[in-house]
Chain A
Amino acid sequence: DIQMTQSPSSLSASVGDRVTITCRASQNISSRLAWYQQKAEKAPKSLMYAASSLQSGVPSRFSGSGSGTDFTLTISSLQPEDFATYYCQQYNSYPFTFGPGTKVDIK
């Protein structure tokens, strides 16, 4: 199985801050990388697919980049509703695997 890692595991930030989360795959997954946001006691919500394509309705302050094994999710200006846990996921080969998550909380 492809292993996914994320860094940092958690971060504290303020409203308006620029936040970057890194995701790394244990082998080349091309651009078959998705990002999800999960708030407490809620289902995950899809933010991005194909490493850099926004899902419909997702604010443009979210952006993604990368290919191969190294990827990033950036929130350009953190908003109150963005405090959540973020997961990356590879969908290059089954079983699709998720990173362990990055928790973003209020500084």
Chain B
Amino acid sequence: EVQLVESGGGLVQPGGSLRLSCAASGFTLSDHYMDWVRQAPGKGLECVGRSTNKANSYTSLYAASVQGRFTISRDDSKNSLYLQMDSLKTEDTAVYYCVRGFHGMDVWGRGTAVTVAS
């Protein structure tokens, strides 16, 4: 079964850092483009960042709202994707989803909640 499981969310103070993890199973992560999408409480969906696949050199793209603060990385040996979030702001509070970027965004994880508050 193709599955994505996120972890690493929690409560962090403004200016702090958090690293989200996404463990993939049922497929080879390195073959696929991968995305991080977030949803603030009661709001719509926002693309945060995208990582191309290994064949395209794992190039990363970011939304303007997180550019310079968030970094996507991968560990092929663990079939995992990561989102390093630095200099967090209250407006980064959201559920963060790990998503496979195939035929649009075909497989979604359940999400992990991040709360930025003092």
State the majority secondary structure of interface residues on B. Answer: loop
Residue of A44, A49, A94 near B103 (CB, 8 A) is: A49
Greatest chain A CB density within 10 A among B61, B108, B109 is at B108
Residues on B with C-beta less than 8 A from A36 are 45, 105
In the complex, A75→B107 CA distance in Å?
A: 22
User: Are A96 and B106 touching (Cβ within 8 A)?
Assistant: no
User: Are B103 and A87 touching (Cβ within 8 A)?
Assistant: no
Cβ-based interface call for A45 (8 A): yes
User: Are B45 and A87 touching (Cβ within 8 A)?
Assistant: yes
User: Are B108 and A45 touching (Cβ within 8 A)?
Assistant: yes
Residues on A with C-beta less than 8 A from B61 are 94-95
Chain B: residues with CB nearer than 8 A to chain A?
A: 35, 44-47, 50, 61, 63-64, 97, 101, 103-111
User: Are A46 and B63 touching (Cβ within 8 A)?
Assistant: no
User: Are B46 and A34 touching (Cβ within 8 A)?
Assistant: no
Cβ-based interface call for A53 (8 A): yes
Interface residues on A, range: 20 to 34
User: Are A46 and B104 touching (Cβ within 8 A)?
Assistant: yes
Residues on B with C-beta less than 8 A from A55 are 103, 106
Separation in Å of the B15 CB from the closest CB of chain A?
24
User: Are B44 and A46 touching (Cβ within 8 A)?
Assistant: no
Residues on B with C-beta less than 8 A from A49 are 103-104, 106
Query: Given A44-B97, A49-B103, A94-B50, is A100 in contact with B44 using a C-beta cutoff of 8 Å?
Result: yes
Shortest Cβ distance from B103 into A: residue? A49
User: Are A34 and B104 touching (Cβ within 8 A)?
Assistant: yes
User: Are A91 and B104 touching (Cβ within 8 A)?
Assistant: yes
| A64-107 CB contacts (< 8 Å) to partner B | 87, 89, 91, 94-101
